[in-house]
Amino acid sequence: MDHNDNKKAVKDFQRMALTDFQSSGVVGVGEKIVQEVKAATPIEPEHVEWIMTGKVSIYAYGVVTYEFPGGKGVTEFCYVYDPSTTNFYTYSEGNRAD
């Protein structure tokens, strides 16, 4: 199943404005960075129901900038939550790399 099928209604992916918040670190070959983000307020029970029934979607979006010996790069990533599997899947409209 293509997890983007049910998201075709999203015509214009709105990229969020970047903030001044930055974190830095070094990632070696084969290593991962995991960032935990918490909402400022809890999700209302009605909204949880909307998420679980597919009425609305949750997207996880981020931008990674990096430097390497050959230059610099930027990667944007976007995932959409699938309540039927309780996993996030790549949402291709929000992914881009330079």
The answer to the question of residue 93 being in a domain is yes
The answer to the question of residue 25 being in a domain is no
Give me the DSSP letters along 12-28. Answer: S--PPPP-S--------
**Which 8-state DSSP code applies to residue 2?**
-
The answer to the question of residue 87 being in a domain is yes
The answer to the question of residue 49 being in a domain is yes
Give me the DSSP letters along 54-86. Answer: TSS--EEEEEEEEEETTEEEEEEEEEEEETTTT
The answer to the question of residue 15 being in a domain is no
The total number of structural domains in the chain stands at: 1
Q: What angle do CA 89, 91, 96 make, to 5 degrees?
A: 125
The answer to the question of residue 58 being in a domain is yes
The answer to the question of residue 42 being in a domain is yes
The answer to the question of residue 4 being in a domain is no
Amino acid at 55: K
Q: Which domain holds residue 66?
A: 32-97
pLDDT of residue 45: 93
pLDDT per residue rounded down to tens, the chain (98 residues): 344 444 444 555 566 666 655 666 777 778 877 777 777 888 899 999 998 988 888 888 778 888 888 888 888 888 888 888 888 888 777 667 66
